[in-house]
Amino acid sequence: MSGFFKRLKESVTKTTGSVTQKFLSGLNKTSTSLLGAMDDLVRRGKIDEDLYEELEEILIQADVGVTTSMELVDRLRQEVKERRIKEASELQPLLAEIVAEILIDEEEVPALQLRDDGLSVILFVGVNGVGKTTTIGKLAHRLKSEGKKVLLAAGDTFRAGAIEQLQVWGERVGVDVIKHQPGGDPAAVIFDAVQAAKSRGIDVLLCDTAGRLHSKVNLMEELKKVRRVLQREIPDAPHEVLLVLDATTGQNAMQQAKIFKDAVGVTGIVLTKLDGTAKGGIVIAIKNELNIPVKWVGLGEKMDDLQEFQGEQFVHALFGSGDDKEKTLTGSEE
Amino acid sequence: MAWEGLSERLQAALKKLRGKGKVGEADVKEAMREVRLALLEADVNFKVVKDFVAKVRERAVGQEVMKSLTPGQQVIKVVNEELTALMGGEQSKLNFASRPPTVIMMVGLQGAGKTTTSGKLANHLKKQNRRPLLVAGDIYRPAAIRQLEVLGKNIDVPVFSLGDQENPVVIAEQGVQKAKDEGYDVVFIDTAGRLHIDEAMMGELKAIKERVQPDEILLVVDAMTGQDAVNVAENFNRELGLTGVVLTKLDGDTRGGAALSVKAVTGCPIKFVATGEKMDALEPFHPDRMASRILGMGDVLTLIEKAQATMDEERARELERKMRTQTFTFDDFLEQLRQVRNMGPLDELLGMLPGVGQAKGLKNLQVDEKQLARVEAIICSMTPQEKQEPGIINASRRRRIARGSGTTVQEVNRLIKQFQDMKKMMKQFSGMGKGGKRRRMRGFPFL
Ligand SMILES: Nc1nc2c(ncn2[C@@H]2O[C@H](COP(=O)(O)OP(=O)(O)O)[C@@H](O)[C@H]2O)c(=O)[nH]1
Ligand SMILES: [Mg+2]
C-alpha cells in the first residue's frame, strides 16, 4: 500500500464517532458498486488498454464526466509508466491518489470563513430544488449549537411557500427569520436582514435565495444585486457564497458552477443528497476546472444531516479497497 | 469547456468522413466514438449509450449512402433517427378513467418538481374544461402543503389537505373520495420527494397506490439528472409500475440525456416536459427535438436538413419543368404524395408553410391522413399508361380503378378532377415569389 493510502486510512480512522460513521455510510451506497467494479478489474492482474478503458467508464458512471475521466486516466497511465507499475492491483490506490490531489488542497480551507468578531454573512445560491433552504436550516442548527447567534433571511420571495418553509426551519432550530411579503424584492429583504443582524448583534446571517437556472440572465442579475447590497452594507460581505449542488445532477453542474461563480463569486460548494445512490463525481471536475472546493455535504433531510466535506474520506470511500472500507464503515478498526 | 471540445473533435471526425466516397466500417466506428462521447457528455447513462451505439453501428454499416449526403452525415442521420425512435412517439396524452375521477399520482426524488408539475397539469386540464382537484400528500417537507395551496389558488383549482399530521395514505384516499362526492373528474396526488432506496418511504407510495388505484403514476424527473437516472427510474418503476414520465427544468441549458436513460430502462412514455416556473410552462414532448438536443450536433443536423432540402429542390425543378411542358403525370403525383407523407403530420407541416394561409382555397384546409392513403391506393390501381396519360381514364377504367383500390367511383372522379385542378394551381404558384417559399409551396400541389 502506498504511503499516501496509509495516510488516508489513518486520517479516516482518527476521525471516529458518529460524524465519520454518517459520512461514510452515506457514501457507502455510493461506492459499493464502484468498488465492486474495481475489484473485478484489478483481480485480472494484467494492465492493458481494456483495463484503462473500463476504469474510465467507472469514473464516467460516477458523473465525473467524459473529459475529466479521460484526463484522470491519462494521468494514471503516465504515472504507471513513470513508476514502472506492473500490477493491476496498484492502479486503484494510484487513481485515488490522483483524484485526492485534485480534491484536497495543500493548505486546509476552513469549511466556513467567518469573522472572528462581528457579523458574517453567508449567501446561498443554486438552481431550483437542490436543497438551499434545507441546508440553511441544517447549518443554522449547527452554528447555533456551537454557540453562535444566527439569523435567517427569507430571500426566496418567488417560490410558493418558500418563506413559510424557511420559517418552519427557523422554528425548528430556534432562530429568527427576517421576511417580506411573497413577490417582494429579494434585495430589500436582504437589506433589512443585515440591518436587523447588526442591531441584534448577530454572529452569522444566512441568506436564502430563490432557486434559479443559471441560464436565466435576468434572474442572475437579480442575484448580483443581492450581492451588491450585501457588499454595500458590509464591505467584506458576503463572507461565503455557497453554491448548493444536488449530487444527482450530471454534467450540467459544471455549467451551474461556472456561471454562478462568474456572477456572484462562489466560494464553496454544498453537495446535497449524497444519501442517495448518486455519486456526485462532478465535483471532481468542478474542482479541477474551476478550483471551487466542496465544503459541506448533505446526507438527509433532518437537522443534523449536514457534514463538513472530508476530501480524504470521500476519496477513500470511493477508491479504497473493499476490506478497508468495510472496516472503517463498521467501525471495527481501532 | 467540455463539450465545445467534443463538438470540435466531432467536426474534425466528420470532415474526415465527408471527403470520402463511401463509408467503411472503420469510418463508422470513428464517427460512433464521437457519438458515444456526445451522449455521455449529455448524461445518457453509460450502459444505455453502450447498447445504443452497438445497435446503431450495426445499422449504419449496412447502410447505403444517400445521394446528397456524405458518409459522415449519413451516420449522424441514422443516429438521429434511431435516437428519435427510441424516445417514442409524441405522448402528451394522459390516461383518463372510463369512470371519473381519474386519479394521477405524482412521484419522484426530492426537488424534482412534483408540486409545481401537479399545479401545471391541473392548470392544463382545467383549460380543457375538466374539473381537477389537487391533493396535498407531502406531509414531510416544511410548507409543502402551503406551496400547493398557493399554486392552487393561483390557478383557481381547489386543494384538499388534512394538514401534516395525517397519514398520506389516508389523505390520498379521502381526497379521491372528495372528488367522487363533489364531482371533480381528475385528482392529482402530490407526494413527498423520496429516495428510491428508502424502503419505508417507497412502501408508503405502494400503500397509496393500493388504496386509490391510480390511472396514472407519473415519475417526475429533473432533466439535469446524471448517470443515476437509471437507478432512480428502475426502482420507482419496479416498486410502483410507472405509466409515464414528466421531464422538468428543460428551460435550462442541460442536454437532458436523462430522458433517454429513463425511457430506456422503464419503457414509459415521456408525456410532458416542463419548461419554466410559471403555471403554463408545460409542453408536449417532442422526441425529435429531444433527440437532437441530446445529440447536441445542431449544426450537423442542419447540414443534413439542408442536403435533403437541396435534393427536394432538384426534384421540384424537375417537376416545374414537367409542369411547363405539360408532362406532369400521376406517377409524379404519387412520388410527391409519398414524399410529403414522409415529412410528418400534415396539418403541422401545413401550418408552417409560408403563404398557405393566404392561398385561396387552402384556408381552413382539413388534412386527413386516411384520405391520403386512399388517394395513394387509387393511383396505385392505375395502369402505367393511365398514370402517364390520365386523359384516357374513361368511365369503365374508373370503375375498375375504384374496385382495385377499394374505393368508390366518386372518389376516383374526385381525384382525377383534383389532379386537373392541381395542374392549374401549380401554374398559379409558379408565378409566385422566388426561392424557398416557392419550392415548399410546390410540395403540396394536390391539396
Ligand atoms: N435526501 C435528501 N434530501 C434533501 C437533502 N437536502 C435537501 N433535500 C430535500 O430536497 C428537497 C428540496 O430542498 P429545498 O431545500 O426546498 O431546495 P431549494 O429549492 O434549493 O431551497 C426537499 O424535499 C428537501 O427535503 C439531502 O441532503 N438529502
Ligand atoms: Mg428554497
Q: Which residue has the cell 464521437?
A: B34
Handedness of CA B146, B152, B155, B158 (dihedral sign): negative
- Nearest Cα neighbor of A237 from A208, A206, A283, A259 is A206
Number of domains comprising chain B: 3
Structural domain harbouring B255: 102-293
CATH number of domain containing A51: 1.20.120.140
Same-domain check for residues A146 and A241:
yes
B355 pLDDT more than 50: no
In a domain? residue A332? no
Co-location of A204 and A67 in the same domain:
no
Closest partner CB to A248 (pick from B109, B142, B154): B109
Residue showing cell 492493458: A48
Q: Are residues A158 and A83 in the same domain?
A: no
Nearest Cα to Cα of residue A92 among A269, A299, A326, A320: A320
Give contacts of A 62-81 with B, CB under 8 A: 62-63, 65-67
Distance CA A255, CA A253 (A): 5
- A131 in a structural domain: yes
Each residue's pLDDT tens digit, B98-150: 999 999 999 999 999 999 999 999 999 999 999 999 999 999 999 999 999 99
Condensed to tens digits (0 to 9), the pLDDT of residues A36-81 reads 555 665 566 778 888 888 888 889 989 999 999 999 999 999 999 9
Tell me, yes or no, whether B435 lies in a domain.
Answer: yes
- Cβ of A189: how many Cβ atoms within 10 Å? 25
Q: Do B42 and A251 touch (CB under 8 A)?
A: yes
A-chain residue closest to B44, CA distance = A250
Q: Count H helices and E strands in chain B, helices first.
A: 19, 8
For A118-129, write each residue's pLDDT tens digit.
899 999 999 999
Same domain, A215 and A75: no
Strands A176-178 and A204-207: unpaired
- Residues A83 and A202 reside in one and the same domain: no
Same domain, A147 and A77: no
Using a pLDDT cut of 70, give the percent of chain B over it. Answer: 74
Backbone angles phi, psi at A272, to 5 degrees: -100, 165
Among candidate residues A111, A101, A27, A104, the one with its CA nearest the CA of residue A295 = A111
Ligand nearest to the CA of B193: 1
Q: How far apart are CA A248 and CA A240, in angstroms?
A: 24
Instruction: Quote the minimal CA–CA distance from B114 to chain A in Å.
Output: 10
**Global ipTM:** 0.86
Residues B21 and B117 in one domain: no
Query: Does the residue B373 lie in any domain?
Result: yes
- Count CA within 13 A, CB hemisphere, residue B356: 21
The verdict on B226 touching A (C-beta cutoff 8 Å) is: yes
Number of helices (H), then strands (E), belonging to chain A: the values are: 13, 8
Q: Chain B partners of A159 at a C-beta cutoff of 8 Å?
A: 147, 277
Contacts of B345 (CB under 8 A, 6+ apart): B369
Closest chain A CA to residue B38:
A66
User: A196 lies in which domain range?
Assistant: 120-310
Cβ–Cβ contact A174 with B under 8 A: no
Domain contains A30: yes
CB atoms B249 and A127 under 8 Å: yes
Return the ligand 1 atom nearest residue A305 CA.
27
pLDDT tens-place string over residues A272-308? 999 998 889 999 999 999 999 999 999 999 999 999 9
Last residue of a domain, one of B278, B293, B308: B293
Total tally of structural domains belonging to chain A: 2
Q: How far is the CA of A166 from the centre of ligand 1 (A)?
A: 12
Could you tell me if B275 and B180 lie in one domain? yes
Q: Tell me, yes or no, whether A133 and A46 share the same domain.
A: no
* A26 touches ligand 1 (CB under 6 Å): no
Of A131, A182, A254, the CB nearest to B111: A131
Last residue of a domain, one of B268, B293, B318: B293
Residues A255 and A175 in one domain: yes
Chain B residue with the nearest C-alpha to that of A277: B228
| Calpha distance A199→A159 (Å, rounded) | 29
* B246 plus B369 within the same structural domain: no
Q: Do residues B141 and B23 share a domain?
A: no
CATH of the domain at B365: 1.10.260.30
Task: Give a yes or no: residue A111 inside a domain.
Answer: no
- Is A222 in the same domain as A92? no
* Distance in Å, CA A131 to ligand 2 centroid: 7
Residue A333, in any domain of the structure: no
Quote the longest CA-to-CA distance of chain A. 67
Given the CA of residue B144, which atom of ligand 1 is nearest to it?
Answer: 23
C-alpha cell at A304: 443534523
Q: Which whole-number Å values give the CA distances from A169 to A93, A147, B272, B373, in the listed order?
A: 42, 18, 33, 63
A245-259, B195-209, B356-370: which has the minimum mean pLDDT? Answer: B356-370
User: Confidence class of residue A31 from pLDDT cuts 50, 70 and 90?
Assistant: very low
Question: Which pairing describes strands B102-107 and B216-222: parallel, antiparallel, or unpaired?
Answer: parallel
Flag whether B302 is in a domain.
Answer: no
Atom nearest to A128 CA in ligand 1 = 19
Backbone φ and ψ of B198, nearest 5°: -85, 100
Asked whether residue A199 falls in the same domain as residue A216, the answer is yes
Domain end (from B29, B63, B87): B87
Does A15 fall in a domain?
yes
Is the minimum CB–CB distance between A301 and chain B shorter than 8 Å?
yes
Confidence of residue B71 (pLDDT cuts 50, 70, 90): confident
C-alpha cell belonging to residue B152? 392552487
Q: Cell 409558379 maps to which residue? A: B430
Model confidence at B365, pLDDT cuts 50, 70, 90, reads very low
Partners of A130 on chain B (C-beta within 8 Å) are 111
Q: Which three cell numbers stand for residue A46?
A: 494484467
From atom 9 of ligand 1, which residue's Cα is the shortest distance away? B110
pLDDT of residue B426: 61
pLDDT in tens, B378-418: 988 898 889 888 889 999 999 999 998 889 999 999 888 87
One domain for residues B141 and B270: yes
Omega of the bond leading into A293 within 30 degrees of 0 (cis): no
CATH of the domain at A217: 3.40.50.300
A-B interface: how many C-beta pairs under 8 angstroms?
A: 155
